[in-house]
Structure formats: structure tokens, C-alpha cells
Amino acid sequence: MPNGSNTKQNPLATELCGLKLDNPVIPASGTFGYGQEFAKLYDINILGSISFKGTTLHERYGNPLPRIAETPSGMLNAVGLQNPGVDHVIAHELPEFKKIYHKPLVANISGFSIDEYTETAEKLDAEDQVGILEINISCPNVHNGGMSFGTSPEAAAEVTAAVKKVTHKPVFMKLTPNVTDITEIAKACEDAGADGISMINTLLGMRIDKKKRTPLLANQTGGLSGPAVFPVAVRMVWQTARAVKIPIIGMGGISSADDVIEMMMAGASAVEVGAANLVNPYACKEIIEDLPRAMKELNIDRLADIIGAAL
């Protein structure tokens, strides 16, 4: 399976734990499905990789409707990890994915207990198409009163260590920004064996239906994404890049080639583009095509050279 071009030959190339990417642009989990709809619009093999829809051990319907709401410069979502479960993904979705995308994928994994995380991760680790395991620790810990695994350094480390014991591929822990000090969570993951960090997940938000005088979302609260969160994401990536030595996939409101460069200067080795895909299905394609222009304006010869430039 091709892992991308050599960074010396390709000015857009980057690398994540030995996995070479043709460019740093990766559609974020939950915003690109399994690629089928986008493959009808353009050749998705131009993408650096794809983080496919978040996968849990068992099938999940997700939260009740409505679960999406627009906000100024962004959106709220409370989809609730709707997915067909890991066995269905392996049996049906990955074989179909292989027909349209020929590079290693990022497998985004969620769970509600340590056992769910490890069983799902072990199954996806065995799949040839998967290059990186992205472990979403924003899920409620059902054995700890529903508190997110990612809000406690100890719980984050416990998930990291457990997943690392049953897998062989690079493990990137996806962190929630809804904490006091995200660097403490990142360092705990690094100390527990994480190969990298993905950040940030959505910020907790709410909208109110003024006519009904009730929360707009059936779930009451949801995750805020889109350009509104970009400065927060840049700040958190920058802080974390100073605190850990492992690579970071930066995300949160990226919608342009200039955003990609800024996020990489903050310390990200690659980026994920999320909400922008829901506004413009060509967003990732257009960002990749515009990167040479943005690089030329800033006298950047290779993207790999600017990783952490602002540190």
C-alpha cells in the first residue's frame, strides 16, 4: 500500500510516526463518513489520509433529533456517535472504502469502558487499511459517573495504556478541550505510551430556541466546531507541542490553506478538516490545491520545515 511521496521530493509531504502522507490534510472523523459521497465529487486519493466515522464496539443509533444547530461561524452537533459497530465496519465499510481510497486510513475509535476501547482497537489494528488508531477519549466513562475519560489525566492514561497493550500501530489520543489544562492530559497520554495526540475535539456549547424557550438540541448541549473555535485550537496545539515530544494532528475550525500553515506553525505535523466539509464538500480538495500558493507567499519551501515554527 503506498504511503505517500518522499518529503524531499514533495513540498507538501509530512510524516506521522513513520507513516508518510502526500500532504497534511485529513478529513476529520464524522465529517466525511466512509468517503463514498465525496468520491462521487472528486478523486479522494489526493487527501493525505482520512479519519473515518467514529467506531464503537456495538451499533449506535445516536442521540434523538434535532442534533445539529447552526451558530455564528460554526455549528453545534450532538450526533451521539451514530455508527454500525466495528464488526459491520470491518465486514462492509472497509472493503467498500478500499475500492475508492488506496492509502492508509485513520481509524477513529470511541468506547464507554476500557474493555470497549481495547476490543474495538484490537479489531481495527488488525486491518491492513488502517495506518493510525485515533482514540477519542471524550466519551463518558460509564464506570465513573459519566465523566469523560479525557477530563482526567489518570483516566486518559489508563485508556492509553490499555489500548497500547493490544495494538501494534501508532495510537493517537484525541483530546477534549473541555478541561482546565489540556497539557496535563497530553503528558499523561504520552507517559502511558501514546504515539501521538489529536486535538482538539469540540467545545461544549448550547443554543436556545427563543420561541419555545427550550434548548435547541434534544441533547440540550452539543459540541461547537467551525471557524469560531480555530483560535482556541491553535492555542491548545501550541501549548501541547511545548509540553510533549510526540507528534500532533491539529484540528478545530480549519477551513483554508492559511489555517493549515498556522496550525502547523503552532506544532501540528498534520491537520484534520471537519466542519468545513459540511459547508463545502470540496473543502479539503481546495485547501490542498491552494497550499502551494500560501507557501509561496510565505517563502515556505517544504511544509515539514514549518512544524512548530512558532514554538
- What the chain holds in terms of domains, given with CATH numbers, is 14-57+86-204+225-306 (3.20.20.70)
Whole-number pLDDT of residue 3? 44
Judge contact between 250 and 264, C-beta under 8 A. Answer: yes
Strand (E) or helix (H) holding 77 = strand 74-77
Judge contact between 270 and 47, C-beta under 8 A. Answer: no
Say which residues have a Cβ less than 8 Å from residue 162's Cβ, sequence separation at least 6.
114, 117, 118
> What is the Cα–Cα distance from 272 to 225, expressed in whole angstroms?
12
> What is the Cα–Cα distance from 278 to 257, expressed in whole angstroms?
17
Say which residues have a Cβ less than 8 Å from residue 175's Cβ, sequence separation at least 6.
137, 138, 150, 156, 182, 185, 186, 189, 197, 198, 199, 200, 201, 240
Judge contact between 238 and 311, C-beta under 8 A. Answer: yes
Whole-number pLDDT of residue 144? 74
pTM, entire model? 0.96
Whole-number pLDDT of residue 178? 95
Whole-number pLDDT of residue 147? 72
Q: Is 139 among the catalytic positions?
A: yes
Judge contact between 271 and 248, C-beta under 8 A. Answer: no
> What is the Cα–Cα distance from 279 to 109, expressed in whole angstroms?
25
Whole-number pLDDT of residue 6? 53
CB atoms within 10 A of CB 242: 12
What burial class does residue 43 get, using C-beta atoms within 10 Å of its C-beta: 0-12 exposed, 13-18 middle, 19+ buried? exposed
Whole-number pLDDT of residue 28? 98
Strand (E) or helix (H) holding 209 = strand 208-209
Set 17, 139, 189, 284: catalytic member: 139
> What is the Cα–Cα distance from 62 to 217, expressed in whole angstroms?
13
Whole-number pLDDT of residue 275? 97
> What is the Cα–Cα distance from 203 to 212, expressed in whole angstroms?
25
Q: What is the pLDDT along the chain (311 residues), one digit of tens a residue?
A: 344 445 458 999 999 999 999 999 999 999 999 999 999 999 999 999 999 999 999 999 999 999 999 999 999 999 999 999 999 999 999 999 999 999 999 999 999 999 999 999 999 999 999 999 999 998 877 677 667 999 999 999 999 999 999 999 999 999 999 999 999 999 999 999 999 999 999 999 999 999 999 999 999 999 999 999 999 999 999 999 999 999 999 999 999 999 999 999 999 999 999 999 999 999 999 999 999 999 999 999 999 999 999 99
Judge contact between 86 and 113, C-beta under 8 A. Answer: no
